[in-house]
Amino acid sequence: MRHAPTQVRPGSILLRASVASGSLSIGAALTFAGPPTIVSIPFLAGDDYAYGSGLSADGSTLVGYSGLMNNGNIAHAIRWTASGGTEYLGQLPGGQEFSIAYGVSGNGAVAVGSAFEADPIRAFRWTSGGGMQALEQLSPTDPFGQAVAASADGSVITGCSGTQEFRAVRWTPTGIQEIGVLPGGQQAVGTAITPDGSVVVGHSGSANGNVAFRWTQTDGMQDLGKPSTVNSSFAQAVSADGSTIAAWGYSDTGSRLLRWTTAGGWADLGSIGGVAFGMTADGSMIVGYGDSAFLWTEALGIVDLSSYLAARGLDLSGWTLNEAEGISADGSVIMGNGFFNGNFSAWVVTIPSPGATTLLGLGGLMGSRRRR
């Protein structure tokens, strides 16, 4: 679970060329209808920061929580849209003042997360009509539940439920379904789900350490293992058709960005010093953070997000983009967290649709690489 944010050391994941040479000059790129825009997400009255955890596939809705920097025991689940602003999602009956929204349906209408209900931490599902409703646990006495991601219409949800040895689960309109844990493991969590709810990905303990998994009703829980460059793998996002997974893993020299496909298995995309969190519907763009927020594409490799956006014309005066937590299905909206004029802030960046192909001077961005 995420609690009050800690300040990430300002820095840069310097742009990593996707070729073997030490530098790369990008000649052809897309022009855009206008420069990107950035919005700071307001926190609730009485709080002093807002943290973004999830973004809807259509890019319209951010979810997360609003809280107090000096009190990590208080969190208020929120939902934000450009038209409606920041909305408080409430608490579960009998619980303390602590709720966090982690995921949101593709259309932004359903938020999911965790909240206290008396002593247990319960997974919840929220809608504007029904409010915050606790989701079923694997056992009525389980002390922990977490809903992490939702399908396009919010009818299917994934996350985990259990004791300290919690299991990956899938909630449907008919109830809770145990996905389980891999052999030799004690804990597992589902972290992402396809729009139709048929494919769940996540990570699980196993006899070989923490590894990514992919689940379908037909094949069950598939151990995806890990590439030879890392000693663990954590799946965080899945493409719309379930064929591509964005992940990360630890190595002896730091964490690395990973991508898995049904056709080719694992690919190590390079050093990130952090985690991957979001991916577009076609699997062509990945966002996450290490020393700072990053973006990956096959053409660019791993690039510092702030530098990329500045090259597109976004004025980032006063901003430090520490974390990228989500990206819309088409890649036109990116969400994350950072600092604006020294104050912690969740943010949403909108990138206008591309126009005609032209030459764009991004060669200077590629002049430096993160040492590996």
Pick the closest to residue 243 from 220, 217, 216, 209 (CA basis): 216
Residue 356 tokens read as 């005609």
Which residue type is seen at 109?
A
Provide the Cα torsion 88, 92, 95, 98; round to 10°: -30
Residue 366 pLDDT class (50, 70, 90 cuts): very low
Which residue type is seen at 331?
G
Q: Is the pLDDT of residue 113 over 50?
A: yes
The CA R_g of the chain, rounded to the nearest whole Å, is: 20
HSE-CB for 134 with a 13 A CA cutoff: 21
Q: Is the pLDDT of residue 147 over 80?
A: yes
* Residue 364 CB contacts under 8 Å (≥ 6 apart), including other chains: none
Q: Is the pLDDT of residue 18 over 60?
A: no
Q: Is the pLDDT of residue 24 over 50?
A: no
Q: What average pLDDT does this structure show over 304-332?
A: 97
Q: What is the pLDDT of residue 354?
A: 62
Angle at the Cα of 197 (from 268 to 282), degrees rounded to 5? 40
Q: Is the dihedral of CA 222, 298, 237, 193 positive or negative?
A: negative
Q: Is the dihedral of CA 215, 217, 219, 221 positive or negative?
A: positive
pLDDT in tens, 81-112: 999 999 999 999 887 889 999 999 999 999 99
**pTM given for the model:** 0.87
Q: What average pLDDT does this structure show over 162-179?
A: 95
The CA-based diameter of the chain, rounded to the nearest angstrom, is 61
DSSP letter string, 83-103? TTEEEE----TT--SBEEEEE
Find out whether 114 and 123 touch, Cβ atoms under 8 Å.
Answer: yes
Q: What is the pLDDT of residue 353?
A: 78
Residue 266 to residue 261: CA distance in whole angstroms: 7
% helix, strand, coil for the chain, step of 5: 5, 50, 45
Find out whether 259 and 249 touch, Cβ atoms under 8 Å.
Answer: no
Find out whether 225 and 182 touch, Cβ atoms under 8 Å.
Answer: no
Q: What average pLDDT does this structure show over 134-159?
A: 95
Q: Which residue has the higher pLDDT, 29 or 281?
A: 281
Q: Is the pLDDT of residue 278 over 90?
A: yes
Asked: is 28-367 a CATH 2.160.10.10 domain? The reply is no
Q: What is the pLDDT of residue 68?
A: 96
Q: Is the pLDDT of residue 8 over 60?
A: no
Which phi and psi angles does 307 have, rounded to 5°?
A: -65, -40
- Alpha helices by DSSP H, listed for the chain, are 305-311
Residue 330 to residue 317: CA distance in whole angstroms: 26
Q: Is the pLDDT of residue 194 over 70?
A: yes
Tell me the average pLDDT of the chain: 88
